[in-house]
Amino acid sequence: MRVLIVKTSSLGDVIHTLPAVTDAAAAIPGISFDWVVEEAFAEIPAAHPAVQRVIPIALRRWRKNWKCISLKAPAFGSRAGFQAFAQNLRRENYDLIIDAQGLMFKSALVAMLAKGPRTGYDRNSARDPWVALTYGQRHRISHEQHAIARLRQLFAQALNYKLPETAPEYGLAQRDQTQTDGTPYLVFLHGTTWPSKHWPEPYWAELITLVTQQGLAVHLPWGGDEERLRAERLAADNAAVQILPQMNLTELMQELRGAVAVVGLDSGLSHLAAALAVPGVTIYGPTRTDLTGVIGSHHQNLVAEFPCAPCLKRRCDYVGESAVQPACYEQLTSAKVWESFQKQTQWVAA
């Protein structure tokens, strides 16, 4: 059986889909998947053994080149880019096409280009209710549960197998726990999208001091100028802190596999670390862990306890007194994160 998955972005959403693929591969012998995904995230589904072919799509890049939009391909921007993508997509006749995104322009129109019967969420379950009109089969899946659980249910209903009661299995190659070369290190995933998700920088600096005093190194990845500058400030005057070179996802996965643990924010990279079974702590302020929190073995989500949290706002608009910004992190200190890290890793200083 050949199935096409349409789940283009974001990084966390792509990772949330992996356990459903693992479930289906275990339930249906011989099943294989192709996957349409944003080109920046193509390395993630490619790492799953049940994914035979990854079909990159460049929606984000095409949107930036909106002046090149053609009448023949108004939703996709560059005519040449769209035509090459469509030819690649339509190479196969699929037994089933699963729209796992539920958005008209990100997934439903893409699914309509492919060859085969389409299925997805019903109008009460999809983020965009109009997409249900494009499917031959529709499935009702409750919104009030974690994204991973929703996707596992969608695949089980679409492919007609019993939903497993086991914990999510991401299907990625696990970390090398035998790696012992060099100083043991933590990876601090200090970058994220919303300003309100950022843990206060002084707390990061304090945590670095706590970690490096115990003989551990800290590695700081970065993905843009703002993150690079933050990494430079945090690494100043501490030889145990290493600013990593800019990495692609494959290189970063290797870096994460060698880590003692990670400390991260609500971001796709924190989900990636959990998918690789790396112990870790993820810090949450304005967002809900019950819907999109990191799930992994030896992992803990630390949630801010504050009157207006989780506010689900991109920017903190709290007007009361607070020692830090965003205000909801005031009590979620570096000492609490360090305590949680020790519990998750059972780390004992030499």
Structure confidence by residue, pLDDT tens digits, 87-132: 999 999 999 999 999 999 999 999 999 999 999 999 999 999 999 9
Query: How far apart, in whole angstroms, are the C-alpha atoms of residue 238 and residue 216?
Result: 12
Question: Please, which pLDDT band fits residue 193 given cuts at 50, 70 and 90?
Answer: very high
Q: According to the model, what pLDDT value does residue 347 have?
A: 54
3.10.129.10, 3.40.190.10, 3.40.50.2000, 3.90.1150.10: CATH of 185-345: 3.40.50.2000
Pairing mode, strands 2-6 and 51-57: unpaired
Using alpha carbons, list the distances in angstroms from residue 249 to 5, 143, 259, 273.
20, 30, 15, 11
- Buried (b) or exposed (e) across 248-276, using 16+ Cβ within 10 A? ebeebbebbbbbbbbbbbbbbbbbbbbbb
Place of tokens 């800290």: 218
Q: Is the pLDDT of residue 60 over 90?
A: no
Question: Please, which pLDDT band fits residue 71 given cuts at 50, 70 and 90?
Answer: very low
Query: How far apart, in whole angstroms, are the C-alpha atoms of residue 134 and residue 115?
Result: 13
CATH 3.40.50.2000 domain residues, the chain: 2-159, 185-345
Q: Is the pLDDT of residue 334 over 80?
A: yes
Q: Which two tokens stand for residue 8?
A: 């283009």
- pLDDT digits over 201-245, tens only? 999 999 999 999 999 999 999 999 999 999 999 999 899 999 999
User: What's this model's pTM, rounded to 2 decimal places?
Assistant: 0.92
- Architecture (CATH level 2) of domain 2-159: 3-Layer(aba) Sandwich (3.40)
Q: Are 5 and 151 in contact (CB under 8 A)?
A: no
Place of tokens 């959990």: 274
Question: Please, which pLDDT band fits residue 72 given cuts at 50, 70 and 90?
Answer: very low
